[in-house]
Structure 1
Amino acid sequence: MTSNKISVTLSENKKEKQPPDQLQFGTTFTDHMFIMDYTLGEGWHDPRIIPYQPISIDPAAMVFHYGQSVFEGLKAYVNKKEQVLLFRPDENFKRLNKSNDRMCIPHVDEDFALEALKQLVDVDREWVPSAIGTSLYIRPFIISTQSYLGVAPSTKYQFIIILSPVGSYYKEGIAPIRIAVENEYVRAVAGGTGTAKTGGNYAASLKAQQLSGDKGYSQVLWLDGVERKYIEEVGSMNIFFIIDGEVVTPSVNGSILEGVTRKSILQLLRHWNIPVTERRISMEEIKQAYAEGKLEEAFGTGTAAVIAPVGELFWNNEKMLLNGGQTGEISQKLYDTLTGIQTGTLEDPFGWSIEVPNKINTK
């Protein structure tokens, strides 16, 4: 990087903020954004915080034609002391570089990226909502911007961070969601891009998501792409099951995105001495456990929803109603604990939360 000094240009036209109870997910954006450029031979350069605005790139930019892009998602919260807290941002930037490696995108300096994020959130700290169930969603992403119609890694990129105050990801909130198991389409296979957080993975999931949505289901549960029998993940979440007192979740196998929330949930469960196993899980096993009355709970985990209890699974034209369609005890405890740590209302024994220094108001 030619310079690590971040220039700041403040917006002269502040946007009107929505009331907390009207916040939807991903529709409102703050006053500022961060951008940094990459040029082959020069590296990452010109880091800057500027007013939120459209970006202008050539129609031949490679991102439009070959999909060379990666992104992340994390959140900021405000606690009772009006401190702004980031939840495990270091893990997100580590994963961003893993995605970069898979997509042939130059690595970013993780410490510098975190400092840039802190400065951006500090500039827009008045946008961090404090109402229960709200947060500031953070979207770092990298796109290839070289103007070239050829299949090769780009020589130019932009690293951008935008911020969005949000309410619950699902309209139902913590209420159980309905999930359809996908038998026809495939999300990813080992050796592909399933472990990278890249746009193409999500574009490939839209058809199945659309079809399940037409049937009234919130999400798709993907099976493995080879045998079509082993559970992988939900469209926007990792998945957990509680079978006969044991929490089980699919092991990271080369085609599953390793979620930061997933990692946090595993640590919490082990901290509580609750039996938890990462392994292969087939839908037949889930069906048998359900038939025997041993399938106690299921829940998804992800940055956007945090914890999403599963109230119904639909597979092979059969419905499995879980826990009477109600939120299970473990799901609720995990949600309350994790959101409590994130918002600072509960002790953080793991050191997950990082405070954003308030430098704007102390100058």
Structure 2
Amino acid sequence: MQEKVLIVEDETDMADLLKYNLTEKGYHPVLSSNGREALEIIEKEVPDLVLLDLMMEQVDGWEVCSSIRSHTNETIKRLPIIMLTALSEAEEKIIGLRLGADDYVTKPFNMDELILRIQNQLRKKRVEDELMERLRRGNDIPALFYHEVKNQLMIIGAYSHLIAKESITRDKKEQFSEILNNTASAISEYLEGMSLFSKLEKGEKKIRLEKFSLREALNKIILSYKNAAVERKIRVETDYTEETNIVELNSIAMKMILSNLIGNAIKYNKKNGSVFVSTKKDGDRLIITIEDTGLGIDPVDIPHIFDKFYRSRSVDGHIDGTGIGLYIVKTLVNAMEGEIEVESTLGSGSKFMATFNSALNHQPL
């Protein structure tokens, strides 16, 4: 079966040239001359890849890219996007990459290079489709690892490519290096958390507690989701009480728990929504609350929401996910003798509350 490539290009000669070369390589090209028409085509017949010109009238390439990445349909949301741009400034390319483009090519481009980039993106899509199918069928931890770190690896690849350019200023190189370091740290912390979770699930390890700053951990996690929140115009508010700053829990487990809950609160929220993160002391108990104004959970799903690979019917098939995040949260919370509960109203939002009985019963640092 021919793989379908949607060419979104308003210059007729360029569109015809791309169509001819893609046809010669065995692809099925579909043409669109503007962003609005392209989005309509995607809704009717989902392509395998989008070649997207940036500078178009009416709806430009950035808006098309943003619409695809924020789509509620999982298949559309994961479409590979290669941006075609006459802009050579690094800042313009960074905007596209932040909006979710997988690659970019600067005009005028070498056709053989473009074909290779298309082949690479389609190859990655086939691998990801297979892994996602394995995830849907059951417990496949390697597939889960790939799914979770794929976006971070794409960021590392994109910014490494930009840093290598001689035209980049020293300030930009320092900025990009910081992004690379933060992304690498996020991958490392995720793998540490998954290793701990895997051992706890198998009963191979007892959890170790240590004192650390909960406020610092929360702020770092919220910062890591800044781009996702800004893109969807979601406001994140916090309210930490001073007496809950230093806690005695497992820092790796807590970062995994908080990253899952805060990430979900943003991911399953509505545009222009809000997320509220708070901590409070109740005797020796620590209570952490993450509340959102998002899609909410069907009452039928709430008893199963922490089950392994369970996905709420309100999001399954519409928003990308694995159905294991909340199971990991519950496993790690329980390992620290805590409790996790949820209150939710379908269409109005959800509130997750994690309670730890002795997290504050310690001597100050």
Structure number with greater CO (CA < 8 Å, separation at least 6) is 1
Question: Shared topology, TM-score over 0.5?
Answer: no
Question: Which structure: greater strand fraction?
Answer: 1
Larger radius of gyration: 2
TM-score, normalised to structure 2, is 0.29
TM-score, normalised to structure 1, is 0.29
Question: Which structure: greater helix fraction?
Answer: 2
